[in-house]
């Protein structure tokens, strides 16, 4: 299934940190800088920074990797930390970007090179509200061998839809393997298509979701399912993974109860 971007919904922020809300600094659009979509509550900023720390706690990211969410006030903006190790991210590190991954309010703060992963997926997939890019170690072998990643148990039911692999060399030839511009990001988004997860050969993966909580859930359980699959392979016997139909049914339950995991993980992160 192919998804297309939505129409523009832009607002103007106040440019100050007041009353527990953070308004992105640049609202003028001077010099081609995109205009802000408006203020974001402190609670949203804390949840996004906490998501990065949760992913680090769960072994999905280390010093590298990132998580983003769509701006609550505009589908044409997203929020992402400045370039910083996930476990160290703070609410004040969050920067607003447009869907071409141009920063609105970086104010001199360094930005992630691979922000284009996020902008292009948001542009193609209006259903996606949050994205995790990681190099989780148990997933990497499945990017290299051609062995399909499968849903090993109900928590990873979303994998039963199938997990495509983005092979950067097929369109771009030899590269540094990084999604460092919008053309590469657009191709990754095309390969992901309507799936919840895509692998990136020799690199890592992306997991997307209809909420920040579900994107984190999927990133965590992609890594867990990969570990379980590798353990099952050691038995040398056929693996009775979830069928696509079982995956659909199990994922319906996860979409309703998955917040239980977030509640546990979030309670462990304080600012």
Positions marked catalytic: 114
DSSP lists the bridge partners of residue 101 as none
Torsion 122-125-127-132 (CA) sign: negative
Determine contact, residues 219/225, Cβ cutoff 8 Å.
no
Determine contact, residues 82/106, Cβ cutoff 8 Å.
yes
The neighbour count for residue 165, using CB atoms within 10 Å, is: 16
């Amino acid at each position: 299934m192919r998804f297309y971007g939505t129409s523009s919904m832009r607002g103007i922020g106040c440019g100050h940190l007041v009353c527990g809300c953070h308004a992105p600094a640049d609202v003028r659009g001077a010099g081609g800088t995109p205009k802000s979509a408006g203020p974001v509550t402190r609670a949203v900023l804390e949840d996004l920074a906490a998501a990065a720390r949760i992913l680090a706690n769960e072994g999905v990211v280390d010093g590298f990797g990132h998580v983003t969410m769509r701006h609550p006030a505009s589908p044409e903006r997203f929020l992402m930390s400045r370039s910083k190790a996930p476990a160290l991210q703070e609410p004040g590190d969050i920067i607003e970007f447009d869907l071409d991954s141009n920063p609105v309010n970086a104010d001199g703060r360094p930005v992630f090179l691979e922000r284009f992963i996020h902008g292009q997926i948001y542009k193609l997939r209006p259903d996606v509200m949050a994205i995790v890019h990681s190099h989780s170690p148990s997933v990497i072998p499945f990017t290299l061998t051609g062995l399909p990643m499968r849903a090993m148990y109900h928590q990873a039911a979303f994998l039963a839809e199938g997990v495509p692999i983005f092979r950067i060399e097929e369109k771009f030839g030899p590269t540094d393997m990084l999604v460092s511009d919008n053309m590469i990001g657009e191709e990754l988004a095309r390969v992901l298509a309507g799936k919840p997860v895509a692998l990136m050969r020799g690199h890592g993966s992306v997991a997307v979701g209809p909420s920040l909580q579900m994107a984190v859930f999927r990133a965590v359980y992609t890594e867990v399912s990969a570990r379980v699959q590798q353990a099952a392979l050691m038995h040398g016997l056929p693996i009775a993974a979830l069928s696509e139909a079982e995956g659909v049914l199990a994922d319906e339950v996860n979409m309703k109860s998955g917040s239980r995991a977030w509640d546990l993980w979030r309670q462990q992160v304080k600012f």
